[in-house]
Chain A
Amino acid sequence: MPTIPATDNLVEVENVNFAYDSRQILEGVSLDIRRGQVVAIMGLSGCGKTTLLRLIGGALLPTRGEVRVDGKVMARLSHEERFALRRRMGMLFQFGALFTDMSCYDNVAFQMREHTDLPREMIDDLVLMKLQAVGLRGAHQLMPSALSGGMARRVALARTIALDPMLIMYDEPFAGLDPVSMGVIGQLIRRLNDALGATSIIVTHDVAEALGLVDYVYIMSAGVILTQGTPDELRASDKPFVRQFVHGETDGPMPFHYPAEDYASDLRAREA
């Protein structure tokens, strides 16, 4: 295992607000991601987790506050500088986002061909090495349409780590996977992070899977960070919200029902 300088932060999000048009998505979000760690950002669907990832990747810019990656303020970078920084980041999209017109091999080789002048033989070695890391070297000739959901996610993971990024971001890596694939992806996230000496951010609502593999957790709701801590701290927490979230209780501080009028009076009003 490589020794990791766990003292400084790779990503710092400071008091960030973000709004689409008039819809406020994030409000005063602050968080730090330490180098070498695997950090989960958890929350219910639609609470602004994915937006946060896009802000860190520089695909969106905050309306207020600052996002710093590796000491650089994303909003102050030029287009070229942002692209240069992105070459050192990888992002796994929710459903893999594999290029459907290319084979698995070409998908993984894509960044190597676009960004490097490596000779063909070396790209060949590297691609097969990355695919071997996710257990799909044998599938390198298949087209994405021939893969199952879990396999597609693994090929996408191989593509994400193609250039050995310093920061790997995962957008709902467990969504829509069977339990076995879920476990495989979870293990891979941890193993690849430690083997590459990278830093990982997982955005997920899959509490059980995530708590088992991450170093630190932020829990979000409705655009604000509600609580944070190590997985053990969260499991032991007696805050009602954290309890509801970690143990998956249907009702609690987060209501089951979307805000509406009283059901009985609503029915009466419709009849009238």
Chain B
Amino acid sequence: MTAVTGFLENLGARAIGAVNRLGFASRFLLLTLRNSGMCLSRFSLVAREIYFAGVLSLIIILVSGLFVGMVLGLQGYDTLQRYGSSSALGVLVALSLVRELGPVVAGLLFASRAGSAITAEIGLMKATEQLAAMEMMAVDPIARVIAPRFWAGVISMPLLAAMFSGMGVFGGYLVGVRLIGVDEGSFWSQMQAAVDFKEDILNGVIKSVVFGIAVSWIAVFEGYDAPPTAEGVSGATTRTVVTASLSILALDFMLTAFMFRGA
């Protein structure tokens, strides 16, 4: 009996803890949005963070995109040629990338490459009292440190996803057309005909914006909320990658369910 009540108590306490934290994170997001004025008036602060979060993630995004596209080319050709429709390879590669793989894989890479770095940096700034020092100098750390990193992530993510998809299409072309010998004309023309701007590309962009907001929000919050110790910061960095990755996958399912209902 005590084991059961103990289990229930534990479960309840965990649930309350989780809801509390979500509430705290939401208020933190509101505070960040309210203190985003400086990001507009001094865009150089955001630009600097776009360099660290976005530009420095380019290599991993482009290389991954190329390989994912090349694998799609191989697998797609293997399946399509059984039905004699290998000329539709371009459509398969482009739709897979633009609708799903671009935003999702770029989001996962972004979370582990840039999200973890943002969390670790903010967590260490907190642990070494840099945020407290800033506050004592009458500079609000939310406006000066948190908001620029948040917006840099939100801006970088869709751009990275677009570059991932572009590179992926190129990889599919390399393998499908150059290596295997699918007809180049039908590869591009079928792709052009089948990919719809609003239905496919715009929805993909919406996904990547949503993922960008989620990853950036989680990364800055975990950093700001990290206990100011070595274990605290390392734990927060791990939580950023895990929580952000799971959020991306869950959000992707929900967004896909709304966007592509077989209409």
Please report the number of residue pairs spanning A and B whose Cβ atoms sit closer than 8 angstroms.
Answer: 49
For A241, list chain B residues within 8 Å (CB).
Answer: none
User: How many of chain B's residues touch chain A, expressed as a range?
Assistant: 10 to 19
Interface size on A, residues (CB 8 A): 20
A110 to B144, CA, bound (A): 11
Contact in complex: A86, B137 (CB < 8 Å): yes
A152 to B134, CA, bound (A): 16
Q: How far is the CA of A119 from the CA of B140 in the complex (A)?
A: 23
Q: In the complex, which residues of chain A have a beta carbon less than 8 angstroms from the beta carbon of B135?
A: 59, 86
1/0 per residue, CB under 8 A from B, across A88-122: the answer is 01110111011110000000001100110000000
For A90, the chain B residues whose CB sits under 8 A away are 136-137
B129 and A110 within 8 A (CB)? no
The CA of A91 and the CA of B139, in the complex, are separated in Å by: 13
- Taken together as a complex, chains A and B put the C-alpha atoms of A87 and B132 apart, in Å, by 14
In the bound complex, residues from chain B placing their C-beta under 8 Å from that of A254 are none
Which chain B residues border A87 with CB–CB below 8 Å? 137-138
Among A57, A59, A87, A99, the most chain B Cβ lie within 10 Å of the Cβ of A99
Q: Which residues of A contact B132 (CB under 8 A)?
A: 59, 93, 97
Chain B contacts for A91, CB-based, 8 A: 133, 136
CB under 8 Å from chain A, chain B span 113-165? 124-125, 128-130, 132-140, 144
Residues of A within 8 A of B133 (CB): 91, 93, 97, 99
- Give the residue name and chain of the A residue nearest to B48 (CB): A101
Would B137 and A110 count as touching, CB distance under 8 A? Answer: yes
Q: List 9 A-B contacts (CB under 8 A).
A: A83-B140, A84-B138, A90-B136, A93-B129, A94-B129, A95-B128, A97-B132, A97-B133, A111-B137
Query: A residues near B, CB below 8 A?
Result: 57, 59, 83-84, 86-87, 89-91, 93-95, 97-100, 110-111, 114-115
